Chain A
Amino acid sequence: MGKSSDTRYIFSTGDLYQKDFSIVFRKEDGNFYLPIKDTRELYCFNEITLSTKLLQLLAKVGIVVHFFGYYENYIGTFYPKEQLLSGRLTVAQALAYEQNRLKIAGPIVKGIAKNIHFVLYHYYRHGKSELKDYLDWLRKDVSRLADAVGDIKQLLRIEGEIWARFYQTFRLILPESFAMNKRVKRPPDNPINALISFGNTLLYTKTITEIYHTHLNQTISFLHEPAERRFSLSLDLSEVFKPVLVYKTIFDCVNNRKITVEKHFDKKLNYALLNEIGRKTFIEAFEERLNQTFEHQTLKRRCSYKQAIRLDGYKLIKHILEGKNFVPFCMEDKK
């Protein structure tokens, strides 16, 4: 499935246009050719000019483009029109939302707990015994609680508690300069919040691209309200990957001093945002994790974490269309 890396990140300003069968990026110090064959996804982190003619080409070949503003804020996605569509699936997806929302949302919440458990267990084994209560709760209680809920609101309360207690563990795992008291979303007001927001947005956009390559309708979601964002299904499917892709990357970067407050955050903005080197460093570490492979236990094939996101899309289709139980990606089971 695909190449190890078919994502291009653009950090400088410049023009994007089509020449013959290539995408050309013209910036101050020269032209860069992006072969269409190896490109599936573009990230633009700066001011880019592009033409309708290029968009037409991107649409034809199904290249998704994500745009970010100067302050790392996500602006939106160019979502090519020529996507895979199946009338039968769309109808079934809407019915599943109407009739069986908890059958999909419940496993997502349980999946979050399992994957957080996986990530934190590592620290527990290395001497952080204070984690025990939370780990036990994740392992023994969450599943039972999630199975007992009668509506989505109760389920969301459990999810909220999982994350809140997770954030409280940061003071045990991270150096003081990064530990946080509360999670602030927009705008992030300290380094750790900046990393979380940036990481979550990257994962969200990755998920948009993966879902683009399935037949799922991006607007019909199950855990999140369908109206929450235009691609709210991506919010749903990215949730279980946050611990293993976003948080694990953050912990590794911070604890191995690949990212430090002094060097990688914007001093002018009171260290509340990554600077350009910080952003590049984080993206590199994040991409590396995404492209890491493991032996998939059901498929008996090697598979990258990025592919695992798409595979969760397939699981969802299979649940919706054929009634197979939906169990999102679990780091421990490798499936």
Chain B
Amino acid sequence: MLTGTVVNYYTHCQRQCWLFYHNLNLEDNSEDVRIGKVLHELKKQGKEEIALDGIKLDKLTAEYVTEIKKSDADLAAAKAQLEFYLVVLHDKGIIRKGRLECLEKNKQSKSVHTLMLTEGEIEERKVQYRQIEEFLNRELPPPPIRKPICKKCAYYEYCFI
């Protein structure tokens, strides 16, 4: 089953998406991530998330579904993820607009982005999601492609060793 993260990664890097989907998740290597996870585990109470069918929503109001990102490093991937939420909610009869909040803005001029999908666009996305599912069922991940984002990627060592 697709999740928001998988859709985000598919847009970001297909190889990363495949590896992540098959649980070859190397994210934990980063010390910051590990500590973040630990602290999260240790003081679990606090912020509640709404979780349904592969989506975990940061916030849902009468008008918007909101996704909060640490930075705007890959806006296209974050938007794809948010659109996925809109489509899943739409199928449950929950019609909302999307609102993306980036805590740090480095690349874009604004930190809040809103988006909407028309009925036609929703159908297009669904076709695309089926393609992603087929992609994930492939035997092998696509080979790595040297990109600027690789330098900071948790898979760098695995990809280029």
Contacts and interface: CB of A to CB of B under 8 A. Distances in A.
Given A299-B157, A311-B157, A87 B23 contact: yes
26 contacts: A36-B35, A37-B31, A37-B35, A60-B42, A62-B28, A62-B34, A84-B23, A84-B25, A84-B26, A84-B28, A86-B22, A87-B22, A87-B23, A88-B22, A88-B23, A213-B28, A213-B29, A215-B23, A215-B24, A299-B157, A311-B157, A314-B161, A317-B158, A321-B24, A321-B140, A322-B140
Contacts of A2: 31
How many chain A residues sit at the interface, stated as a range, is 20 to 34
A315 B161 contact: yes
A21 B42 CA distance: 9
A322 B160 CA distance: 13
A2 B31 CA distance: 6
Contacts, number: 59
Contacts of A317: 24, 158
Interface in B32-76: 34-35, 38-39, 41-42
B161 A299 contact: yes
Say what secondary structure dominates the interface of chain B: helix
Interface string B149-161: 0000000111011
B31 to A, nearest CB: 6
Interface in B100-130: none
A84 B26 CA distance: 8
Contacts of B24: 86, 88-89, 215, 317, 321
Contacts of A21: 38-39, 42
Contacts of A89: 22-24
Nearest to B160: A299
A268 interface: no
A85 interface: yes
A254 B28 CA distance: 39
